[in-house]
Structure 1
Amino acid sequence: MTRPLPPATRRSVLRASLSLITGATALTAGVARAAQADRLADLQTIADIRPAPTVVAPTMIVAGTSGPALWAPVLAPAFSETLPTDGAITLQPTAGRDGVTGANKFESQNAGENGTTLLVPGTAIVAALTGSSRVHFDYQRWLPVFLSIGSPVVVGRVDFRRSLRMLIGDHPVRVAVSTPDGPELPTLLAMTILSMRPVPVSGIASSAAALDALRKGEVDVVQLPPDAARPAMLQDLAREGFEALFALGQQTDSTVPDFTSRFTALRGHAPQHPLYQACYGAAMAAGIDAALVLPMLTPPAQTARWRHAAQLAAVRPEVTALARQYGTRVVTGPDVATLFRSLTPDLSGVLALRRWLAERSPGWRSG
């Protein structure tokens, strides 16, 4: 039988054991702290070596020879500075005034991974709404990040009063257009909604040519783009007897009523015509001077960087100066998606528009 240790000896053994345990714990903690410090040093070294996430040097397809061709030389440097890219933005101009060719190219070569963007005018969207056979893109799949948009104004001499002639549907109004399904389509639709019979006078592609035809009495109505529909110009036309009838889209000049307000004042109720949604969508599209869009498959992180860069670019002096010059306003941030959605009527509106075009086009072609 083993004798118990004396109390003094037991205390000595316990103190020795505790010292060993404490020393081992301290040693383990020290080793862990040293390993953690080594890991932090390694991570810091990696962070110093690896640059911040960047966007691959983008290519900007410039669709058409209208608004995008004017905006591209300003927007490309602005985004090159506000966007974390690994190189300058490369411009890729395309032919065609309405931007359909460039939009088709963007659709065919883009999978959302090659950094290609599109700067496109709203006239390409108007062409898509009409169901043009030239259109091989779906603009509803685009991710907009930047818009320059204004409000075209319809000017001319038209008697909107109700009369027997109007009620029987024979009240022709000659409208200056580039083509019947071109950017002046909203004016043709608006006249139809107002119980007029619009007669497009084709081949008038500039505001100067349209105003010349108006003054010569060759047309009754013209649609002026935002840069031509300035207050001074409208006052000069008013002195010549031509009234600013209404604005299309979102106006900035409160002295000119928008189409809905004009219709309500004339008829006593809001428009309820089947073509109204199509007219509104086409009018908003026609007012877009330039839209910068990404493909649908763009990764969310990259889309967020583009949207942030757009907000920074929008307040740069050269960008705001160009918007003032062309009578437009710049839209970025959450408002871009909301505005872009308004360009698309519901299915019944699209079908009504295309049915109306199918019924009217043969007569327009035959004169």
Structure 2
Amino acid sequence: MKKSNQTLIANVARSLRSSIAAATLGAGALALPSAALAVDFAGDRIEMVMPFKEGGGSDTWGRFYAPLVAEQLPGGPVMVVKNIPGGGSTSGANQFQLRAKPDGRDVLASSASTMFPYILGDSRVRYDYKDWAAVLASPTGGVVYVSADLGIDSVADLAKLKGQDLKFASQGATSMDLVTLLALDLLDMDVKAVFGMKGRGEGRLAFERGEVNIDAQTTSAFIKKVQPLVDEGKAIPLFSYGVLGKDGKIKRDPNFPNLPHFVEAYEMVHGEAPNSEAFRAWKSFFIAGYAAQKGLFLPKGTPEEVVQAYSEAVAKVIAKPGFETEAEDVLGNYEQAVGGDAQMMFAEALKIDDAAKAWIIDWLNSRYSAGLEPSAD
């Protein structure tokens, strides 16, 4: 009888282990046993380096995510935002590269303003994106539009703009406006840049006053501020920049499904797909400026189990019921990229080859007197 009971207990134990294993596999990737389970931040203070001043878009993004991610990290630590502005965000990123400890208690919030100087080889840059591990990428979108006074109805009519006085109000050729200026150039549009704008909001106001006749706005600004102009017949949308698919290809923006993305616009104008140094440069800056505009990074040498713990924490944040509604004003209607997907996006942005990098620097210097050092690659 004793032996029979031992056999019964052993069988029950085996059955229980099998049930637990099956349930774990069925629960999805986040429930799988992992090295991340050994990570514990209980009682810790995690510092998010924010290389921008308080109150801006990146700061708002970081302060939105910080408590949500901290709550989901093992041990539920506190995450605080440390603003280190200066040098167009290079100062804070430089400090992060130099001082961040690879134990998960230091993270960096990056934006397009941090990536553009890196890609262009800015002399102020002392950081290397290739050293860091991305755990989150937040995309945004954008739309280029023109004044209805130009007499065209869509991007298919661009040939009608030949010889017209085209103006675009810009913050600067090496700012996020680079994406717009290069896109217009690739579409053979002879556009004069009017520099000195403090933001895209100023550019839109210049458009509304009739001082310029071409403008570009991010998705949220376009929907809130420009769509009414479209409805009134005062503005004509030409194309969106699109979004980056998981296959690395540009696809239509889900917010503007009836509007061609830039690659489609290029094909409509030129009759073939883009495949030049100029386009390869544009794609890198499009990803850095829009498709993966903001990102959360861990420093060089961070153990894989810590990177995994962060990736899982971000995934849990995004999967929580009600997250999309809560995040709409900050993130827009865009899918957040986590872990491997985020790493793919930033890798695509950094794929710019030597020829494309040399081309864009020469173009910026010759066209806009940007004063950039020739590429040393």
Per the normalisation by structure 2, the TM-score is: 0.74
Q: How does 1:202-351 map to 2 (within 5 A)?
A: 202-230=195-223, 233-237=226-230, 239-250=232-243, 251-252=253-254, 253-287=256-290, 288-316=292-320, 319-326=323-330, 327-329=332-334, 330-344=336-350, 345-351=352-358
Alpha-carbon distance in 1 for matches of 2:190, 2:118: 24
Mapped contact 2:104–2:302 kept (Cα < 8 A): no
Partner of residue 75, structure 1: 65
Alpha-carbon distance in 2 for matches of 1:200, 1:323: 34
1:151 corresponds to which of 141, 144, 147: 141
Label 1:97 to 1:238 Cα distance change in 2 as closer, same or farther (>3 A).
farther
Identical columns (%)? 22
Alpha-carbon distance in 2 for matches of 1:203, 1:191: 19
Give me the CA root mean square deviation.
2.8
Q: What amino acid is the match of 1:338?
A: M
2:367 corresponds to which of 355, 360, 364: 360
Alpha-carbon distance in 1 for matches of 2:38, 2:306: 13
Mapped contact 1:148–1:328 kept (Cα < 8 A): no
Alpha-carbon distance in 2 for matches of 1:203, 1:189: 18
Aligned length, in residue pairs: 310
Moved more, 226-235 or 211-220: 226-235
Partner of residue 25, structure 2: none
Partner of residue 141, structure 1: 131
Partner of residue 33, structure 2: none
Label 1:328 to 1:117 Cα distance change in 2 as closer, same or farther (>3 A).
farther
Partner of residue 187, structure 2: 194
Q: Which has the larger radius of gyration?
A: 1
Once the two structures are TM-superposed, the CA of residue 352 in structure 1 deviates from its matched residue by 1.1
Unaligned stretches of 5+ in structure 2?
Answer: 1-36, 244-252, 372-377
Label 1:309 to 1:333 Cα distance change in 2 as closer, same or farther (>3 A).
same
Partner of residue 95, structure 1: 85
Moved more, 154-163 or 353-362: 154-163
Label 1:113 to 1:148 Cα distance change in 2 as closer, same or farther (>3 A).
same
Partner of residue 248, structure 2: none
Moved more, 284-293 or 299-308: 284-293
Unaligned stretches of 5+ in structure 1?
Answer: 1-50
Q: Provide Cα deviations, 1:41-79, integer angstroms capped at 9, x if missing partner.
A: xxxxxxxxxx95314532111222433211222212112
Label 1:96 to 1:224 Cα distance change in 2 as closer, same or farther (>3 A).
farther
